[in-house]
Amino acid sequence: MDIWLDIPTPVAAVLPRRVVLPLEHPLSMGRDPDADIRVGMWNMFISQRQCEVGRDGCGAWFQDVGSRNGTFLNEGLVEVGSSHRLLPHDVMRIGNTRIRVGWDFVVEPSWLHWEAGIVVALARRVRDEGDHAAMPILADALEDVGCTESGILEHMRGAGPHVRECWVIDALLNPKRGKSGG
């Protein structure tokens, strides 16, 4: 399963540039010619090293690494140095560049109603009570209902780390956010 950023390209381009986030290491963003994702190279309001964006088992995240004019998430200014979880359709703004987050995990509606809604109940237990011990049980329920995404099942059965803002839990509890394009 991929998690990506859609980064606007010049007006002449039809589609945004899609950057798939690797699990191995975070990507740097900014004006620096050596940045992994170079944005706003002529925009002095964007720092040489604006932020980092990455992916772990719990989904995507980003961190402002000391920008001069701030990095925004869904139009809210983020605190320098703090890490923020990213969900499908979130929009990061660096200067006037808006970067949309997406991934291709789809929650089948039938999963949410199976066995009197046990999948939803377990997901709520993880989110609301912080009961990460319920993650492997939730993985078993998802597998029983037909989820075949090995990366998701392995993550949920693994030792973690697990966080309250886990993208799988968010997808199960907010299925309308769902698939964000491919």
Q: Which two tokens stand for residue 45?
A: 């309001």
Query: What single DSSP character describes residue 40?
Result: -
> 0.75 cut: is pTM over it?
no
- Each of the 182 residues of the chain gets a pLDDT tens digit; together they read 788 898 887 654 555 688 999 988 999 999 898 999 988 777 788 899 999 999 987 789 999 998 988 999 999 999 998 889 898 889 999 988 899 998 877 888 899 888 989 999 999 999 999 898 999 999 999 999 999 988 889 888 988 777 777 888 888 888 766 554 44
| Amino acid sitting at position 104 | D
Domain chopping of the chain, boundaries: 3-103, 109-173
Instruction: For domain 3-103, give the fold.
Output: Tumour Suppressor Smad4 (2.60.200)
Q: Which two tokens stand for residue 5?
A: 């950023």
Burial 91-115 (b: 16+ CB within 10 A, else e): ebbbbeeebbbbbebbbeeebbebe
Picking from 23, 32, 92, the residue whose alpha carbon sits closest to that of residue 64 is 92
